A = this chain, B = another copy of it.
Amino acid sequence: MKRSPTTRPPTQTARPRYAVVAQALIEDILSGRYPVGATLPTEQNLCKQFDISRHTTREAIRRLQALGLVTRRAGVGTIVQADRIAQRYVQVGDTVSDLYQYAQDMALNALEVSDIEADDATAALQGCAPGQAWARLQGLRGMDPDSLPMALTDVYVARAFRGVLGDIDGSGLPIWSLIEARYGVSPTEVRQQITATILGRDEAAKLHATQGEPALRITRHYLSDPIGTYEVAINLYPAGRFSYSNTLRTDPAATLS
């Protein structure tokens, strides 16, 4: 039961040393003693301050990294990135496709394809550069062309990626994955907005639904790091044919063993 003096002096608590140090540092960050942008003491100094080995110091700081509180760079130091602990949740599901429940059998069948300038759709594409060149596709999403369609979809892609619009008909793959495959551009950020509306006359006709029926409108903006928004998808789901659901789970990487 006794510990050898070379390892650890007896303590009342069963907490690991690195956890004690990590908590102390976290409290210093939360309290503002180390504000965002500040540099934490060097490993060597922390070793002296807490009388621990460098291994233990690094293990403690690893915890701060996992919590997103600090980043480290050789030759620079440990920089405070945030002054509060984020409850980190990750979306369950491994791909955006899973996240957004686009099963393979929900193929998109094109009704109409056209080229437009951003002015025409400024309202729909809010936040995009005006005057930008886009290509637009409207289609119906559903199991097969005969049965009741599940959604009316409007997709806008940057003109540069226009080529994918020819690939999607019935492929059952989400547009962004086609762009990924063909142009190597994948989203670094996805913004989503969900509202309730009622179906207009045109929309109802295309969906074989009745005008005035409630519907879910899901608008998604796909962004990639340097180029910005390159795809906007607007889906209109008549109530009862679809429900959006997702699951968030506490980030397993944030606990780090």
Residues 69-99 of chain A, each 1 if its beta carbon lies under 8 Å from chain B, else 0: 0011000000000101011111100111001
Q: Residues of A within 8 Å of B, CB-based: how many? A: 51
A13 at the interface (CB under 8 A from B): no
A249 at the interface (CB under 8 A from B): yes
Contact residues in B for A65 (Cβ distance below 8 Å):
252-253, 256-257
A52 at the interface (CB under 8 A from B): no
Judging by beta carbons under 8 Å apart, are A99 and B90 in contact?
A: no
- Known A82-B94, A90-B251, A95-B86: A216·B195 in contact at CB below 8 Å: yes
Contact of A191 among B188, B214, B245, B256 (CB under 8 A): B245
Judging by beta carbons under 8 Å apart, are A90 and B88 in contact?
A: yes
Judging by beta carbons under 8 Å apart, are A198 and B216 in contact?
A: no
Judging by beta carbons under 8 Å apart, are A189 and B249 in contact?
A: yes
Q: How far is the CB of A138 from chain B (nearest CB, A)?
A: 20
- Known A65-B256, A82-B94: A215·B190 in contact at CB below 8 Å: no
Count of chain copies: 2
Closest B residue to A195 using CB positions: B243
Contact of A91 among B216, B248, B256, B257 (CB under 8 A): B248
Contact residues of A between 186 and 202, Cβ < 8 Å to B: 186-198
Judging by beta carbons under 8 Å apart, are B194 and A245 in contact?
A: yes
Judging by beta carbons under 8 Å apart, are A249 and B94 in contact?
A: no
Contact residues in B for A187 (Cβ distance below 8 Å):
250
A247 at the interface (CB under 8 A from B): yes
Judging by beta carbons under 8 Å apart, are B256 and A192 in contact?
A: no
A249 to B188, CA, bound (A): 6
Contact residues in B for A214 (Cβ distance below 8 Å):
196-198, 214-215, 239
Judging by beta carbons under 8 Å apart, are B190 and A89 in contact?
A: yes
Judging by beta carbons under 8 Å apart, are B66 and A253 in contact?
A: yes
Q: How far is the CB of A45 from chain B (nearest CB, A)?
A: 19
Judging by beta carbons under 8 Å apart, are B239 and A196 in contact?
A: yes
Contact residues in B for A256 (Cβ distance below 8 Å):
62, 65-66, 253
A254 at the interface (CB under 8 A from B): yes
Residues of A within 8 A of B (CB): 62, 65-66, 68, 71-72, 82, 84, 86-91, 94-96, 99, 186-198, 214-216, 237-239, 243-254, 256-257
